[in-house]
Structure 1
Amino acid sequence: MARVSLNPRRSPFLRVTEWYAKRTYGKVPDPVRALGHNPRVLRADLRFELAVGKWNTLDPDLKALAVMASAASIGCSWCMDFGYWANRQRGMDARKVHDVPAWRESDAYTPLERDVMHFAEAVTANPPEIDDEVAQRLVTTLGEAAFVELTAMVAVENLRSRMNTALGLTSQGFKDHCEVPARGQAKASATAE
């Protein structure tokens, strides 16, 4: 249960933010409502997220795996729920997104993807437990600019996941609205209606 109400005073800024969020995500994400209690924090967070969204050196799938591995390591169910939905919306393989919490046991990942998730978990550990060998492989394979972006994305997800967890935000049901029906299922359910 959220530790703050999800019904802040609806200022004009919050109303515009909610309108945009509904249009973009189909509903208002709980972090927006929680941060709405402090408009300066909400504004800063939105500006920051817009800037982060423009980072484009790292492959989007690698970025997603790093973010979700970090969120899973922290235990942020809200972040995992939203991450699953967002990455399925952009077409990422469902198995890769689904298996992140158990990536070590899954055969869905390449060696590079495994290194990315290993690194994300290591950076998220408290204190961080960076394996120099893994970090060097990532620098060599990705290049320094993408490695810096990878490191920054893990740090950003630590901010998100730790804030959402501290605020008591849990899964909001995004994942429930993104499953792509198997071939033939869509026709069958349309016929049944």
Structure 2
Amino acid sequence: MDTRFNLFDNELATKFAKRFANTGLVIQQSSLPASVQELVSLRASQINGCGWCIDMHTKEAAAAGESAVRLHLVAAWRESSVFTDAERAALAFAEEGTRLADAHQGVSDETWAEVRKHYDDDQTAALICMVALINAANRLAVIPRLQGGSYEPGTFLASLDT
């Protein structure tokens, strides 16, 4: 499968992508743990089949000290023992928030209650925004078929206006 369109070679797309990526700074600078942010981004990207985002979030998480075992088990988080209850709530939220078309009510009341049990208002807001942002990012990469494999950790942060 070849890349259909290189967003990074188009001036309009580059302007949009830079502004879009800068919205992520609000989440990144929130009190939502960075590890949760990467796990949520990785899980949504797996569901959406976004190789570019899976590559990026796996490498960023590993560079930040996330273990290979946990990264390998994100896709099977329910069948593993390496995630905390708070991380499990966030991963369930990521899945349900990503698969909106699969459930007429979106995020279940049970998952919502677990999220609220583990995360304060600012962290919950960041989690909502994170799921929305990563799903939009997945579409920006999947539609033009951006390929995973060449991402270098730190590249994303270097591209932002901080």
TM-score normalised by the chain length of structure 2? 0.81
Q: Which runs of 4+ in 1 moved over 4 A?
A: none
Q: Which runs of 5+ in 1 are unaligned?
A: 5-33, 178-193
Q: How big is the shift at 1:140?
A: 2.9
Q: How big is the shift at 1:88?
A: 0.8
What is the distance in 1 between the residues matched to 2:4 and 2:150?
A: 19
| Structure 2 residue 130 is matched with structure 1 residue 153 | yes
| Structure 2 residue 131 is matched with structure 1 residue 131 | no
Identity of aligned residues (%): 25
Give the AA of the match of 1:40.
Answer: L
Pick the aligned partner of 2:38 from 64, 81, 93: 64
What is the distance in 1 between the residues matched to 2:143 and 2:69?
A: 29
Corresponding position of 1:164: 141
Q: How big is the shift at 1:162?
A: 1.6
1:3-22: CA deviation from partner (whole Å, max 9, x where unpaired): 12xxxxxxxxxxxxxxxxxx
Give the AA of the match of 2:52.
Answer: W
- Count of matched residue pairs: 147
Q: Structure 1 99/173 Cα, relative in aligned 2: closer, same or farther at 3 Å?
A: farther
Between Structure 1 and Structure 2, whose CA radius of gyration is higher? 1
Report matched runs for 1:76-91 at 5 Å.
Answer: 76-91=50-65
What is the distance in 2 between the residues matched to 1:170 and 1:36?
A: 13
Q: How big is the shift at 1:174?
A: 4.1
Report matched runs for 1:79-118 at 5 Å.
Answer: 79-118=53-92
TM-score normalised by the chain length of structure 1? 0.69
CA RMSD of the aligned region, Å?
1.9
Q: Which runs of 5+ in 2 are unaligned?
A: 154-162
